[in-house]
Structure 1
Amino acid sequence: MALEVDTRPERLDRDMVYRYLSQESYWARGLPREVFERSLANALCFGGYAEDGSQIAFARVITDRATFAYLADVFVLAAWQGRGMGKQLLRTILAHPDLQDLRRMMLATADAHGLYAPFGFNELSKPERLMERLDQDVYQRLAVAR
């Protein structure tokens, strides 16, 4: 089955994507809806659709469209995994005209190294040069503040 991939924001099943990220993903559990909406507004989003038009996959890319991109929130719904949908989604993302000739594209994953490696993603070449500022509990604090 071929996955149809589309970048039109109005086509996204925002409720399904939000539900997956905030309730099922290990990386965005507890994500507040308003933070989710801002993240979509400021990224190049890719929806993956089955033949019946239902959305079954998602990814977003944060990029300056010139030198750098960060691939985030990549998922395929469980019922569709193991059918090559993730690979189709990645091929389409990497072929997007706004993501050509970038110097660096990064991502973080706990368990999908085997998916990304064939597409040229590797461990950091110079990890000693990269730093991060991580606030692991920000979503929980935002929920309490409401």
Structure 2
Amino acid sequence: MFTVIHQLTSAQVEQLHQMYLQEWWSNKRALADVSPLLANSDLLFGLWDEEAQRLAGFCRVLTDWVYRAIVFDVIVAADYRGQGLGAKLIEHVTTHPRIAQVECIQLFCTPEMQPFYEKHGFGQAEQLLMVRPCEVRSRE
């Protein structure tokens, strides 16, 4: 059984960091950056395994509460995958009372994850994504 949590303890922050280190898209994140990352997010969704005392999954949302919300960092610990936890996270985000009222919920995903998100009502954007590259900063 998993409990949805909206704040992380320092031990849970460390567990999240360990999850980040296992993924290609987040493996350069420093532990020192995780707490400010969380503090500057509008909503946090963690899936807490009470029995194992472990963070099993996580995502976060930035939003203006009216027109746009963007979901970041959807992540499930490797040994918890295949149990529908990613779907639970997305369901909790999209049914959150304040997010459900937002005009548009956005996220970025890799091509192989597209079918997963399409099952949850997301579609490919019509607009062109523009990115201003930033220098990768080294944190040690």
Using the size of structure 1 for normalisation, the TM-score is: 0.82
State the match for 2:46 in structure 1: 47
| Structure 1: runs of 5 or more not aligned | none
Number of aligned residues: 137
Runs (4+) off by over 3 Å: 9-12
Q: In structure 2, how many angstroms separate the alpha carbons of the residues matched to 1:120 and 1:38?
A: 30
Q: Secondary structure at the match of 2:88?
A: helix
Q: Indicate the residue corresponding to 2:116 in structure 1.
A: 115
Q: Measure, in 1, the Cα distance between the counterparts of 2:2 and 2:25.
A: 24
Q: Is there any run of 5+ residues in structure 2 with no aligned partner, and where?
A: none
1:131 is displaced (CA, Å) by: 1.8
Bigger CA drift: 45-54 or 115-124?
45-54
Any idea what SS the aligned residue of 2:37 has? helix
Task: Determine helix, strand or coil for the equivalent of 1:62.
Answer: strand
1:13-53 Cα offsets, whole Å, 9 max, x none, are 100101221x2122122112333221100111111022414
Alpha-carbon offset, residue 12 of structure 1: 7.1
Q: 2: CA distance between counterparts of 1:72 and 1:117?
A: 16
Q: Specify whether residues 51 and 10 from structure 1 end up closer, same or farther in structure 2 by C-alpha distance, changes over 3 A only.
A: closer
Q: C-alpha root-mean-square deviation of aligned residues, in Å?
A: 2.0
The change in CA–CA distance for 1:121 and 1:97 in structure 2 (over 3 A counts) is: same
Q: Which amino acid counterpart does residue 119 of structure 1 have in structure 2?
A: H
Partners of 1:78 and 1:90 in 2: CA distance? 17
Larger helix share, 1 or 2: 1
Give the alignment of 1:104-143 within 5 angstroms. Answer: 104-110=104-110, 111-127=112-128, 130-135=129-134, 137-138=135-136, 141-143=137-139
Equivalents in 2 of 1:12, 1:102: separation in Å? Answer: 32
